[in-house]
Structure 1
Amino acid sequence: MLPRHPLLPRSTPAASGISSRAVAALLDRLEAQSVECHSLMIVRHGHVVAEGWWAPYSAERPHLLYSVTKSFTSVAVGLAIADGLLALDDRVVDVLPEHVPADISEQGRRVTVHHLLSMTAGHRTDSLDAAWRLEPGDLVKGFLRVPFTEAEGSWHAYDNPTTFILARMVERVTGRSLPELLDDRLFGPMGVEHAEWDRVASGAVPGFTGLHLPTEAVAAFGQLLLRDGRWGDRQLVPREWVRLATSRHVGTTQIEGWSENPDSLCGYGYQFWMSRHGYRADGAFGQFCLVVPPHDLVVVATGAVTQGEAVLDPVWECLLPGLDEVASSRDDEVLAERLRRLSLAPVPGSAMPERSVKAELDASAEDSALPDGTTVVVDPVDGGWRLRLGSSLTVEVGHGSWRDSSPLGRPVVATGAWQGNTFVADLYVITTPHRVRLVVDAVAGKAVARWHIVPLTSPSLESHLRSPLMTRTDVA
């Protein structure tokens, strides 16, 4: 089903020179490797040729992009530079003087916009945790206090505070918040209506994470980049900036347990990763916007995976060989039907419509999403259940289907079932990659609630259901 206001025109794989069997092979690979995708969109020659959402995820909902956000911040920097308000050699200490620590090192004084964009300020590893520990209320100052162990410009470290500082520099020189600037200069002209942001306690957006967009908006962003910043008859982002930002500026190394794949060795641009084919905006747990200029191709995926190659390798190995092959309309129809039926599995089991249960949560289990001792009550309601978690969370749960509720302002979608004397429910924090599995032992009166993948910001389920989103309440 098309979104209410499509951003991109639609076509078929055959009409755009893509074999539907190649797309089907990509889906087969993801399924065979148990890769949890939430959405997939393929754009060729400016047209969406394949799109699908794994229920309960859907086209209209925004999805947390994690570090794909960084690439949007890069565009904001490019706009400020094009307006003559910022320059690549501008120093942090000059633009944000009130955030400069008294004991700043000489190297800290030399850090520029270029170093921040390319993540070559001189930290050996990500400085985020250390910077927040040093200065809980001022991440810019904390970043400048973390010792620099490498010469600036000589070493790439994936360093999240660099993007936070870029966002603050853009806001300082433009006099506008990052969301306001991007709404006015990018999202508004493109027709993107549902950009949502996580925020820190001051109300500022992190810049390095926290942007939520529908899948098509990310695909439209990729298409904008592919067309060198042009959208229709308007040049929204300077051509020179798009080419500069998406070019290799520094070599990269693999990070054990996080980026162990060939694409991680292709280099880094200005808040963009280079890839074996083209370049990409890349976010934790399988959020990707792949731009492949030689093939006039954009591929966007969202999901909940722990290794990026689980998505990248199937794209390169299954999809690319199917470009410019002879395709058939019958294959297109088969693929379209398959894409319409994509779904994650509801919890199997029975309804037992007369059974209620009350239990106490045991938070000693690893990756717990709720505090120890939380009261858990499960009551049957209208062919499903009403789930009460402590005094503040009430969640509707479907049987064999999903039910929506927004107990604290943010949506959660849930499915559940009885499996003997155990009630099991999956609670999808639907605008993120994350979900919680709740298991209630009716005989023992005990329950556990564990994240499938723990969010990077907080293990508290309640914090992810509050509106507005707040990722670091301790950073003022």
Structure 2
Amino acid sequence: MKINLVLLTLCMLVHTSLLAQTNELQRSIPEAEGVPSEAVITLFDSLTALPHTDIHSVIVLRHGKVIGEIYPTPFAPEYRHTMYSCSKTFVGAAVGLAIADNRLRLTDRIVSFFPEQLPDSVSENLSNITVRHLLTMTSGITPDWNMRNVCTNWLSTFLAKPVKTPGVQFEYDSISTYVLSAIIQKVTGMTLLDYLKLKLFNPMNIKEVAWEISPEGIHTGGWGLHIQSESLAKFGLLLLNQGKWKGKQLLSSSWIKQMTSKQMEAGDEDYGYQMWLCDYPGAVRADGALGQYVLIMPKEDMVVVITECTLINGRNQRRLVWNKLLSAIKNQALIPGKAYARLKKKQISYTLPTVQGKKQSPLATAYANRTITLETNRYGWQHLHLLFGPKEVNLKIDDKNGTSHILPFGYKQWLTGTINAYPPYSITPVGSFNGLEKTFHVAGSYAWLPTDDLQLKVHYVDWISALDITFHFNGNNVTLTVKENFSTNETILKGKF
């Protein structure tokens, strides 16, 4: 079909024209850095075999060099990823930079920064909250995770809440980090992202980066960073090397020591400044929901980056790093063998599973190019159109805002395209995606099931989300079952032709 050929050409052009900004870190053979290639293979195989998990990228570094990396198809090095609470560690770094610039102190009281946002009556406990309390998640304000979903004045709403004695109880809260972002903006006259660009990102040549912005015009801080995996690896190396980058001290080594040292007990783990201390001795991490990690192991001189979408406890992934990788490393160079050749082949062979089933069905003729009108739904889809080709299906979506986009699906392969629409998101803050370009990339696979249901799988490859969409046709009616990779729930949508 002509539309499919045009779409495929555009997809290829978009894919190759992405600003790649990759392969800047030095690459090395694992054995040259004292790591058996077999251990790297075992780690990659173990991670990709985890249940209820889509691995999007893994990068292993030792002695400052990349010794292994995978981006299971349809993911690729040039795609950015949303980092959830992994974003917090970057905010922690920004606070350290502002302290070094004499713009901020750990003992500064947060009420001093927002006089116009304070409630009519300021309690003693509220008055006593300091920057350090926000860094350690001990503000004394009970987290309200729904607040960001229902109001636009996050600062004044946060400051108006009851306050227990600060500094006593650890209560993890993304809004505490948001307040730190607001403080950075207040004391520097720059947004959090612009300040990090000036101080860290530009010197490290991290250009492909963005951050969501709140309804108040402040970077969300506790979540919302959108960045490439190799840039995460650069940041991990900066922390590993005590703030030095190519011989230049970008971030104070004393501040990194504070960030990565125990500042507060946090259940069965300890917390530093916007960082977690791991159960593996000496290891620390930046940690985001659904499995976003920058693991830093100073004793072993290693960094491991993982981006994924998982529904299992992240300790499984981290312990694979400890048990499959770290247990095998040596303090001297090794002799490469056949395992390294196997690693090179395997690194480019990992792929997320495509949909399995039949290539064609008689129902394709009956339902091609017909308009499906859907009931109101959380995705904002209003009308759907199925366009069938010999080995591909295109799903045209008209949303409630009057815009349209097309998702491409290949048979036993991933077809990649670009859309001018936002992907599904596991959280729903007011103003989600503000600050990010409304251009995202998708990859899709399809098959007809034995029941003649049509199953589509779409990965939003520069985000985190994936959808399984199953069409069940019954005359002029259609039922869609939609499963999200970040949830165990199903959404049932009813439609009519």
1:222/1:298 contact within 8 Å kept? yes
2:182/2:219 contact within 8 Å kept? no
1:139 pairs with 133, 154, 177, which one? 154
Residues 1:86 and 2:104 are matched in the alignment: yes
User: Where does residue 466 of structure 1 map in the other structure?
Assistant: none
User: Where does residue 396 of structure 1 map in the other structure?
Assistant: 408
2:146 pairs with 105, 126, 129, which one? 129
CA distance in 2, matches of 1:132, 1:28: 38
User: Where does residue 15 of structure 1 map in the other structure?
Assistant: 32
Q: Residues 94 and 69 (structure 1 numbering): CA distance in 2 closer, same or farther, change over 3 Å?
A: same
Specify the SS of the correspondent of 1:280.
strand
Residues 1:274 and 2:277 are matched in the alignment: yes
Where in structure 2 are the equivalents of 1:38-437 lying within 5 Å?
38-124=56-142, 126-130=143-147, 136-149=151-164, 151-253=165-267, 265-277=268-280, 278-306=283-311, 307-324=313-330, 326=334, 328-352=336-360, 355-356=364-365, 357=367, 358=370, 359-361=372-374, 370-371=379-380, 374-381=382-389, 383-391=391-399, 392-403=404-415, 404-408=417-421, 409-420=439-450, 421-437=452-468
CA distance in 1, matches of 2:139, 2:216: 25
Q: CA deviation at 1:334?
A: 0.8
Residues 1:439 and 2:470 are matched in the alignment: yes
Q: CA deviation at 1:77?
A: 0.8
Q: CA deviation at 1:329?
A: 3.2
User: Residues 15-55 of structure 1: CA distance to partner in whole angstroms, max 9, x if unpaired?
Assistant: 00111222222233224432321110000001000001111
Specify the SS of the correspondent of 2:310.
coil
The AA in structure 1 aligned to 2:167 is G
CA distance in 1, matches of 2:257, 2:479: 57
Q: Residues 402 and 202 (structure 1 numbering): CA distance in 2 closer, same or farther, change over 3 Å?
A: farther
1:362/1:447 contact within 8 Å kept? no
Specify the SS of the correspondent of 2:443.
strand
1:40/1:301 contact within 8 Å kept? yes
Specify the SS of the correspondent of 2:146.
helix
Q: CA deviation at 1:419?
A: 1.7
Specify the SS of the correspondent of 2:166.
coil
Q: CA deviation at 1:271?
A: 0.3
CA distance in 1, matches of 2:335, 2:88: 37
Higher mean alpha-carbon deviation, 172-181 vs 420-429, is at 420-429
Divergent runs of 4+, >4 A: 130-133, 358-363
User: Residues 366-412 of structure 1: CA distance to partner in whole angstroms, max 9, x if unpaired?
Assistant: xx75358x433211146312202234332222222222121333222
User: Residues 99-150 of structure 1: CA distance to partner in whole angstroms, max 9, x if unpaired?
Assistant: 21213322111111000001111135x33324765xx22212222222234x
CA distance in 1, matches of 2:444, 2:272: 40
CA distance in 1, matches of 2:80, 2:344: 22
Taking structure 2 as the reference length, the TM-score comes to: 0.83
The AA in structure 2 aligned to 1:417 is A
Q: CA deviation at 1:353?
A: 7.9
Q: Residues 196 and 401 (structure 1 numbering): CA distance in 2 closer, same or farther, change over 3 Å?
A: farther
CA distance in 1, matches of 2:96, 2:297: 21
1:361/1:447 contact within 8 Å kept? no
The AA in structure 2 aligned to 1:78 is G
Q: CA deviation at 1:304?
A: 0.7
User: Residues 437-465 of structure 1: CA distance to partner in whole angstroms, max 9, x if unpaired?
Assistant: 1111123522232312149xxx9xxxxxx
CA distance in 2, matches of 1:434, 1:350: 25
CA distance in 2, matches of 1:430, 1:322: 32
The AA in structure 2 aligned to 1:238 is S
User: Where does residue 451 of structure 1 map in the other structure?
Assistant: 484
Taking structure 1 as the reference length, the TM-score comes to: 0.86
The AA in structure 2 aligned to 1:318 is K
* TM-align CA RMSD: 2.4
Q: Residues 202 and 454 (structure 1 numbering): CA distance in 2 closer, same or farther, change over 3 Å?
A: farther
2:152/2:215 contact within 8 Å kept? no
